[in-house]
Amino acid sequence: MLRQASCAAVLAAGLVAAGSVQAQPACTGRPSPYRLFVNVSNVRSAQGLIAVTLYADDSSRFLARRGSLYVGRVPARAGATRVCIHVPGPGTYGIVVYHDADANRSFNRNFIGMPAEGYGFSNDAPAIFGLPSFRSVRLAVPRDGFQTSVRLRYP
């Protein structure tokens, strides 16, 4: 039985090393026992960073200057990027993601204020006629290890 367990461990390590199984990403944010995994899809390139902004369940702070709990940044991966972010605990949050393609740690806009980089919101909330309401992006995070997906939209 010990030999079988050893073989399984070696096989699993080999698969992770070979890229067949994606290893869990290191988590960003203030360390806590609770992690949220955000699977970001439609990432156009591996240039720059994927920024995940975490908002508390407070509509008055959503998208407000200095209103977020935390912004976690990880290197972008073309196609999809998996981001792990610590959350304070189970609860309701808002998630905003953007592709900081030039890694300047800022969301770029064009000369009329429209987005110049890819962006997305929890619950895939639409931003067709302006920014979504906090109610449309509210995401219940019931436990450690909870997963959600955000699809980036590019201008």
Residues 107-155 pLDDT 10s:
999 999 889 999 999 999 998 888 999 999 999 999 999 999 999 999 9
Rounded CA-CA distance 53/131 in Å is 15
Please measure the distance between the N-terminal and C-terminal CA atoms of the chain and give it in whole angstroms: 56
Given this model, what pLDDT does residue 2 score?
41
Domains with residue ranges and CATH for the chain = 23-151 (2.60.40)
Question: Rounded to two decimals, what is the model's pTM?
Answer: 0.82
Kindly give the residue spans of alpha helices, DSSP state H, lying in the chain. 2-18, 134-137
Residue entry with tokens 């030999």: 3
pLDDT digits (tens, 9 = 90+) for 8-25: 444 444 434 444 445 566
The residue with greater pLDDT, 51 or 17, is 51
- The helix or strand, by DSSP H or E, that contains position 35, with its residue range, turns out to be strand 34-43
Strands 49-55 and 119-121 come out as unpaired
